[in-house]
Amino acid sequence: MTSPILQGLGALDLATILAVMLAVVLSQIVAIIPGLGGAFLLAVILPFVFGLEPMLAIAILIGATATDGTGNGVTSIIFGVPGSPTGVATTFDGYPMAKKGLAGRAIGASMAAAAVGGILGAIALAVMIPVVRPIVLSIGAAEFFILVVVALFAIAYVREEALMKGLVAGGLGLSLSFIGMEGSSGVTRFTFGQLYLWDGLQLVPFMIGLFAIAEMLELTSKGGTIADEVEAEANSDISGAWQGVLDVFRHWRVTLRGSLLGVWIGILPGLGGSAAQFMAYAQAARAAKDPDPPFGEGNVQGIIASDAATNSKDGGALIPTLAFGIPGSSSMAILLAGLVTLGVQPGPNMLEENLDILWMIIFVLVFANVFAATLVILFANTFAKLTYLRAALIAPPVLVISLFGAYATTRQVGDVVTAIAVGVIGYYMKKYGYSRATLVIGFVLGPLLERYLQQSLQLFGPWFLFNQPIALSLLIGLVLLVMWSMFKAYLQARESRTLAELPVQGKATGEEAALEEAGPAEGISEQATAEAVSEEATTEDTAADPSDRRRR
């Protein structure tokens, strides 16, 4: 095992380090500006990295992905407005701290917690390799097939009230991946006689359309900037950051618990950063004995728990992505697609022949998180000024760069058409509650799924799901999950009908009074977490909508 570790470390030459630093800077800029997010950045930089040497390209992609939740703590604390959904929980205690003149301490705690969380996430990834490796090597085509189906369902299941829409989006993604020439037979499918479509829809223009152009359409139609809505006197005195850094180690139990919770949530497909931050926050609030000040009024532990979890989840999310080739979010799906295009196949191949790449990824995770935290602490005020950028200044350059990127991959005009068409589709999907995460995961995994299906049929016959024990177990789990979701939907529908018959005023008085008496920490509920998770699934790694702050 020492050789791949040294090879991975050796891959971090000066050029790679500088490239990772650039990716981290871009990631922080994108994290702070509302309307942009992690998946958007990955989609835009994909065409630029494909021409590079694979190790360098992978390092850039990891650097951009691993720190997309770090920088938004700045706006959460200074303005009380998150730059992306993963910064919401930071506002609960960060903004009150800033109002008390403790913005510097809050930012220091936020960044240090993010760095420590990211490092612990990388360590978790390293520790899990020998554990996961024998599992991955023992499962075959049938198990991979049903695993992918389960993952798609699990991601759609996150938004329970839009489960069907999520599944439709996943099915649409799978269907779109079948466009083009089928690998084994050479039969062209859904090409309408167009030579351009013989290779199928290209990944880069597809991603650029879905995440970059769709977001710019939304930004253009909404306009504005968060800076117009914030208080005139920004709480931007950031002296005292070092005390915040020390807080992270002073409250090491909170940091450790938040990080481990983030890793676990990262492993589960579909939950993402929003679930991690709220669960960690709730857990920290429940575990604290007589917190002073109370959570929600400027307790630094609230910031530490949520930010540690937000960054550690990336290490956890990389485990199923790299080991099984099953991404749990749109960012991971784009990363996976990028790796495949660079010639690195996640899954058993990664764990057998490309361990050096895996170790390089771990080292890049550590470096990127430390660098991002240091950068943001030193330049917090400069980053905060980015929030004054208006949609009118962001949209035109981003649209132009996106189209350049879409065209540059294969130099075909059809790619530009694809990006624009998919951009329109992505806009309406987001608007009407269809999960773009399941769409892109279905699109990325479609060819793989078809291959596993054909291999399974060839090796084990039409009943392959029933004569392979592991596959059968996963199938039973899927059926139980489907039945459970249908049962819950039935219960919720029945509850909605009952509520509709109640008078509006005073309905929740008793419950509300009880919760206010209990205080914020004890009242945090699964329902509240689920609502936040469903918003994350809607916004899908993109920044919070400027109209969220319409009544500030």
Partner 1 sequence: MPSGLDSDVGTESEHLSGLPDARPAIGPTIVALLMVLLSGYMAYTALSFPFRPRLGPLGFSSLTFVLGLVVLMVEVRDFRRFRDPRARAARIAPSERDLPSSPTQLGVPAEKVDALAHPDPPSTGTAAARTTSREWMAFGWLAFLTICFFALGFLVGMAVFMVVMLRVYGKESWVLTLTVSGGVMTATYVLFVQVLAVQVYGGMLDVLSLLPL
Interface with partner 1 in residues 432-491 (CB under 8 A): 432-434, 446, 449-450, 453-454, 457
Is residue 548 within the footprint of partner 1 (CB under 8 A)? yes
Is residue 251 within the footprint of partner 1 (CB under 8 A)? no
How many residues belong to the chain?
Answer: 552
Cα-to-chain-centroid distance, residue 396: 25
Q: How many CA atoms lie within 13 A of 408 on its CB side?
A: 16
How many angstroms separate the CA atoms of 38 and 24, rounded?
11
Judged by beta carbon, residue 129 or residue 533, the one nearer partner 1 is: 533
How many angstroms separate the CA atoms of 338 and 10, rounded?
22
In whole angstroms, the minimum distance from the beta carbon of 153 to partner 1 comes to: 11
The residue from 14, 290, 413, 497 that contacts partner 1 (CB under 8 A) is 413
Judged by beta carbon, residue 76 or residue 354, the one nearer partner 1 is: 76
Q: Which stretch binds partner 1 (CB under 8 A): 127-135, 305-313, 427-435, 464-472?
A: 427-435
Q: Which two tokens stand for residue 506?
A: 């005073």
- What DSSP string describes 224-287? --GGGTS-SS-----TTHHHHHHHHHHTHHHHHHHHHHHHHHHHSTT-HHHHHHHHHHHHHHHH
Applying CB under 8 A, the site for partner 1 has a residue count of 103
Judged by beta carbon, residue 92 or residue 363, the one nearer partner 1 is: 92
Is residue 19 within the footprint of partner 1 (CB under 8 A)? no
Judged by beta carbon, residue 213 or residue 375, the one nearer partner 1 is: 213
Which residues between 194 and 213 bind partner 1 (CB under 8 A)? 213
Q: Which stretch binds partner 1 (CB under 8 A): 2-10, 111-119, 296-304, 379-387?
A: 296-304
Judged by beta carbon, residue 48 or residue 379, the one nearer partner 1 is: 48
Q: Which stretch binds partner 1 (CB under 8 A): 62-70, 293-301, 311-319, 323-331?
A: 293-301
Judged by beta carbon, residue 4 or residue 224, the one nearer partner 1 is: 224
Query: Under DSSP, is residue 181 helix (H, G, I), strand (E, B) or coil?
Result: strand
Taking CB under 8 A as the rule, which mask of x and - marks residues 507-546 in contact with partner 1?
A: xx--xx--xx--xxx-xxx-xx--xx--x--xx----xxx
Q: Which stretch binds partner 1 (CB under 8 A): 111-119, 254-262, 316-324, 504-512?
A: 504-512
How many angstroms separate the CA atoms of 92 and 297, rounded?
7
Taking CB under 8 A as the rule, which mask of x and - marks residues 153-182 in contact with partner 1?
A: -----------xx-xx--xx-xx--x---x
Taking CB under 8 A as the rule, which mask of x and - marks residues 300-329 in contact with partner 1?
A: --x---------------------------
**Omega before residue 134 within 30° of 0, cis:** no
Taking CB under 8 A as the rule, which mask of x and - marks residues 72-91 in contact with partner 1?
A: ----------------x--x
**328 contacts 335 by C-beta, under 8 angstroms:** no
Task: Give the CA distances from residue 62 to residues 317, 357, 514, in Å, rounded to whole numbers and listed in that order.
Answer: 12, 11, 46
How many angstroms separate the CA atoms of 114 and 116, rounded?
6
Is residue 392 within the footprint of partner 1 (CB under 8 A)? yes
Name the CA dihedral angle for 166, 169, 175, 177, rounded to a multiple of 10 degrees: -100
How many angstroms separate the CA atoms of 104 and 234, rounded?
13
Judged by beta carbon, residue 198 or residue 428, the one nearer partner 1 is: 428
Q: Please, what is the Cα angle at 80 between 245 and 33, to 5 degrees?
A: 90
